[in-house]
Amino acid sequence: MRKTTRHYYKELRLRQMRALVELARQGSFAKAARELGLSSPAVWQQVRALEREFGADLVKSRGGQACLTEDGDLLARLTAPLVESFDTIRSLFAERRGKLHRRLTLATTAALLAHELPAAIGDYRIVHPNVELTIIDRPSLEARAIFERGGADIAIVGSTGAEGVPPQCQVKMLTSYNFHMLCPQGHPLLARKRLTLDHIGRYPLILTGKGAAVSRQVQDVFAGSDAREPKVSLSSTNLALTISYVQMGYGIAIVPLGPKIVTPWQLGGHGRVMIRDVSHIFGQEHIIMLHRSGGHELRHVGEFRETVMKALSGNFQTDHASHQS
């Protein structure tokens, strides 16, 4: 029986898989090449080698952007965990030998840092005082982009569910926020028994900035209806600033708020600014945690995820139950 000779130098290589995964992450050959420290033609050659190996078209170029085909997206999702696992071997080896300088970078929003994460971060720092914890404060879409580019180990962000999941990511649901309307005391909208989108669209709106997914969600709700297009009078991701300008009568605000803000507000008020649930119109913002796929995860990263999930699990159950009632 004739033995088959395997030509290992011709077979699938890690750098080819890494090129495809990075291309899926960056969306262009130029950006992928910059991240990999290669030239654009070199990345192009690696991807073309994969196409020859698998006998399938993986990428289509459109106006300087690289768009993965259905086969390309499938292969990127299959190979991303392999690339992630291989890239962590050096750190895992150092960790097992007790010689790893442990670092963790978190990308999240100012609102989550202020209202949801202090207890989890405090608990984690007590148990892991030697982990170098770096926190990047950005609006949700920007924090997510930092994570997807490899600039953070974990991202905790708001999501409307329309952003999709990158091939190298896993998603954990943490909690959900109902959308609320903020109005000055005595505003006509507060007296309406059944509030509609058309009623809200008659007044100037204060929304979160473009870097937040919720602003897009509010505008998409208006765009998909017959209601008049609202005038956006202010864009801000700072809740205190938003409240101040609502109180001044500059506009009404549409923002997602969690129970840690809503409950004390309902009990004691917030100056002359009133609050009303409008989730029947705008729905919810989901707070999610993104982390890397793959079978290899540094222990201190996994323990941070567990700490956050434990701290926020009660919020999800409470808020979800209130939304269902």
Q: Average of pLDDT values for 39-67?
A: 84
pLDDT tens-place string over residues 265-303: 876 666 689 999 999 999 999 999 998 765 567 788 889
SS3 state of residue 231: coil
Taking a C-beta distance cutoff of 8 angstroms, is the pair 316, 288 a contact? no
- Cα–Cα distance between 219 and 232 in angstroms, integer? 10
**Contact call for residues 255 and 208 (beta carbons, < 8 A):** yes
Q: Is pLDDT of 33 > 70?
A: yes
Q: What is the per-residue pLDDT for 44? A: 86
Of residues 74 and 62, the one with the higher pLDDT is: 74
Report how far residue 109's alpha carbon sits from residue 106's, in angstroms, rounded to the nearest whole number: 10
Q: Is the pLDDT of residue 226 over 70?
A: yes
DSSP secondary structure letter of residue 293:
-
Give the three-class secondary structure for 65.
strand
Q: Which of 21-30, 175-184, 298-307 has the highest mean pLDDT?
A: 175-184
Residue 163, pLDDT above cutoff 70? no
pLDDT of residue 250: 92
Q: Residue 2: pLDDT above 80? A: no
Q: For the chain, what is the largest distance between any 2 Cα atoms, rounded to a whole number of angstroms? A: 91
Q: How far is CA 249 from the centre of its chain?
A: 32
**Residue carrying the six token digits 């801000």:** 236
Nearest-5° angle of CA 15, CA 21, CA 24?
Answer: 140
* CATH of region 176-283: 3.40.190.10
Look up tokens 């990047």; give the residue: 136
Mean pLDDT of 312-322: 49
Numbered ranges of CATH 3.40.190.10 in the chain: 89-174+285-324, 176-283
DSSP 8-state assignment for residue 107: E
Q: Give the per-residue pLDDT at 293.
A: 66
Tens of pLDDT along 104-115? 999 999 889 998
Query: d(Cα 34, Cα 304) in Å, to the nearest integer?
Result: 31
Rounded distance between C-alpha atoms, residue 103 and residue 90, angstroms: 14
- In whole angstroms, how far apart are CA 239 and each of 76, 236, 247, 294? 39, 8, 12, 37
pLDDT at 190 over 70: yes
- Per the CB < 8 A criterion, the answer to whether 94 and 286 are in contact is no
d(CA 159, CA 114): 18
Pairing of strands 252-257, 169-184: antiparallel
Q: Which CATH class is domain 89-174+285-324?
A: alpha beta
Q: pLDDT confidence of 89, banded at 50, 70, 90? A: low
Amino acid of residue 293: S
Task: Give 17 or 183, the one with higher predicted confidence.
Answer: 183
User: How confident is the model at residue 259, as a pLDDT?
Assistant: 86
Separation of alpha carbons 318 and 297, rounded Å: 31
pLDDT in tens, 115-152: 899 999 999 999 989 888 999 999 888 898 898 877 89
Could you give the CA distance from residue 103 to residue 113 in angstroms, rounded to a whole number? 19
**CA dihedral over 56, 58, 62, 63, signed as positive or negative:** negative
CATH of domain 8-78: 1.10.10.10
